[in-house]
Structure 1
Amino acid sequence: MTDTSTPAEAPPAVLRQDAELIAGVVAAAGRGLVDRETVAEVVALCAVAGEHLLVVGPPGTAKSEAVRRVAGQLGGRYFEYLLGRFTEPNELFGPVDLRSLREGRVEFETAGMLPEADIAFLDEVFLGSTAVLNTLLGLLNERVFRRGGTALASPLRVCVGAANHLPEDPALAAFADRFLARVFVDPVADARLEELLEAGRRPAPVAHHGGGPGGPEDRLGALDRLAVAARGCELDGVTPLLASALRRLRAAGVPVGDRRAV
């Protein structure tokens, strides 16, 4: 029987160690990135918050590099894919299990695919077909992959989508709204071009794959413990301030729906 109980919140001393560990992960991932440190920070923040991130910016602005570095430092299973108009669902979610099909069951082989990933990056995310986006929507919402006879609880901590711009098609609005966190990036400013060129000559940080203290299991465990603690935070003191900020945003013409407000 699967244990569906919520893990107990860790002691404060453990949470402090977890926070320091994840801060070190973010710092290592951002080392050598020019003006993309914020992307690395928000990926980790979204993993703790249990939300998904959309990174918007023109091609060639290191969106994917920033995500890869964070994933490499955190460890765990990573899935990355560039979506297109003709991307088939099985390219993301896995092919039909032929052995089950011979027995009259439609099930899918998900090993190494998106449903079993801890961290995922989907480039050009709005180019996916309706079949891809509808299946993805359920996975992002519920962390459960359902297709055919397959129903699989996903370990997905955060999915990062990337796009050159926000979609104008109203049909994509509901899907885009599932990425509650958004970071907009531009090419590195002229004043920092020397820094960019120097960083481009240096090798990327080595991904952390070793075991033991501070290894991938510890890092993902730290994320999970911080996520549990975050859900237990007392927010009554800041609720009036948040409500005031939301009113100001709406008064300024910035659309903030109920889901995003919460």
Structure 2
Amino acid sequence: MTHPETQRHGDESASVSLCLRVRCLFAARNRRSRAEPHTEPMEKAVNLSLLYLRSRVPDLSSDPEEVAARLRGLDFTVERIVPLAELLRPIVVGRVESLTQHPNADRLKVCVVDDGGEQRLQIVTGAGNVQAGAYYPLVRSGTTLPNGTRIKRGKLRGEVSEGMLGSADELELGTDHDGLLTLAGEPAPGTPLPDAIPVDGVVFVLAGGADADEVVEALATGKRRETPPPNEDART
């Protein structure tokens, strides 16, 4: 039976898995709006990893406290500094047991994935490097990515996808977004990702409606954030 939300969107809907995979394939990453269609952004905050900020501002300090102080000095509100490992713990090891060509899309594959549970999950992906028998980070439906995007179950060209397989870029583990992050060895499916691979780094949770490009520009130029006047949202 089709989930009511999936049925409401119908076959024309595209889950975050497709959006992120297509973004990876065409190298069209848009950090300004980090929440994709059919996802649930977490309130009005932006999550930015230290890795991402340093990739955009090369001379930025590697010390999280120094970066937080610099952000506050530029009038950004740093709510929390969260270890990346904490945010990645809900993401688990998934083993692709089999994959088939999507019946309605040349660029997509339909994967049967073992997540350590009794039932197998169906994941649709457009990643070119996906292979049967390989291990990848598995982001199940209902899980939130480090950037604050909540992954939801959806239909991709008529095939249900119950989550997504992740790239290093999407998980804030690197800047490579050309394919999935392949996990070495044979880690047990269902293992939390930080228990399967080394995870370093932190994520800054910024409040106040900031966006990634605004933060990067301020860090690069040293100019304070331009905040809107009071009641700006109420003006017409």
TM-score by length of 2: 0.22
Q: Larger helix proportion, structure 1 or 2? A: 1
Structure with max Cα Rg? 1
Greater share of strand residues, 1 or 2? 2
